[in-house]
Amino acid sequence: MLIIALVISVVSLNAQEVDHVYLKTGSVIRGNILEIDPVDHVKIQDLCGNIWNYKITQVEKITSEPYTHKNGITREHFEFESGFVNMTSIGFLAGSSYNTQVAPFSLLMVNGWRNSMGLFTGAGIGIEFFSTNYMPLFVDLRYDLLGKDVVPYIMAKGGYSLPLASDRQEYNMEYEYSGGPLVGVGVGLKIKSRTHFAWDIGLMYRYQQTSYMEKHDWSGQEYDYTDVYNRIEIRLGFYID
């Protein structure tokens, strides 16, 4: 429910009207008007949080209107440029204490392409620590909603995790590991700190399966097990374009 609420909030932000201050120089400041004196000045906070003061003599007009991209699509004109993107992040899969692994650690890297509309398609790889070490291979899809320096987005991924060790011996038992599917959906926030670099914060729902066979050396009996993880995935990383 938390993820759904966050998605609704960022989508509604994308469609809302904002104040526009048109200057006689041709510039346009978009945001929220904090103060206005019809004969002296106007104060406006722009969409990045900066506050600007202008004399009324500098202003051509003041309006409140949707922020529409020049091609007619409701998006901001200062979105990230299209091109190759690399994302590297660490995270934890927080969840049930009934599993042996309460909060498995995760290190992921995704490479792909973002088009001019803000749609990103990429492929990811990494290492995650469940009952043994797994290497996830997955497709990563993201969509930037709006913004320049602070960019909310929605995301989804799906793929398969492969064990990095196929078997393990412990006491009088042998364990043979096999892979399992993974699926995730969620929201995130990119915070741009300099050109072509942004910090990346993500919150997702993650479904993950892993499986293994347990064999008793003394009896020769074999048992198959499947671990199912329904987790909240919390990620922090960086974004290079």
Q: Does domain 80-240 have CATH number 2.40.160.20?
A: yes
Q: Considering the chain, tell me which residue range(s) the CATH 2.30.30.100 domain(s) occupy.
A: 16-66
Instruction: Look at residue 9 and tell me whether its pLDDT is greater than 80.
Output: no
What pLDDT score does 145 carry?
Answer: 85
Instruction: Look at residue 217 and tell me whether its pLDDT is greater than 80.
Output: no
What does the DSSP assignment read for 216-240? Answer: ETTT--EEEEEEEEEEEEEEEEEEE
pLDDT band at 96 (very low <50, low <70, confident <90, very high): low
Which residues face 240 on adjacent strands?
86, 197
CA-nearest of 82, 114, 108, 81 to 93 is 108
| Tokens standing for residue 122 | 């990429």
**The sheet that has 17-23: what strands, in order across it?**
51-55, 41-46, 28-37, 17-23, 59-66
Instruction: Look at residue 32 and tell me whether its pLDDT is greater than 60.
Output: yes
Instruction: Look at residue 51 and tell me whether its pLDDT is greater than 60.
Output: yes
What does the DSSP assignment read for 103-119? Answer: S-EEEEEEEEEE-TTSE
Give the β-pairing of 59-66 and 17-23.
Answer: antiparallel
What pLDDT score does 67 carry?
Answer: 63
**Which is higher by pLDDT, 74 or 36?**
36
pLDDT band at 74 (very low <50, low <70, confident <90, very high): very low
What are the Cα distances from residue 212, in Å, to 175, 206, 227? 7, 20, 8
pLDDT band at 160 (very low <50, low <70, confident <90, very high): very high
What pLDDT score does 172 carry?
Answer: 74
Q: Does domain 16-66 have CATH number 3.30.870.10?
A: no
What pLDDT score does 111 carry?
Answer: 97
Q: Which of 69-73, 137-141, 187-191, 200-204 has the lowest average pLDDT?
A: 69-73
Q: Considering the chain, tell me which residue range(s) the CATH 2.40.160.20 domain(s) occupy.
A: 80-240
**Which is higher by pLDDT, 90 or 117?**
90
Give percent above pLDDT 70 in the chain.
83
Residue 16 three-state SS = coil
**Which is higher by pLDDT, 54 or 167?**
54
Q: What's the angle, vertex CA 221, arms to CA 218 and CA 215, rounded to 5? A: 80
Whole-angstrom Cα distance, residue 122 to residue 114?
9
Q: What is the pTM of this model?
A: 0.64
pLDDT band at 75 (very low <50, low <70, confident <90, very high): very low
What's the first-to-final CA gap in the chain, in angstroms? 31
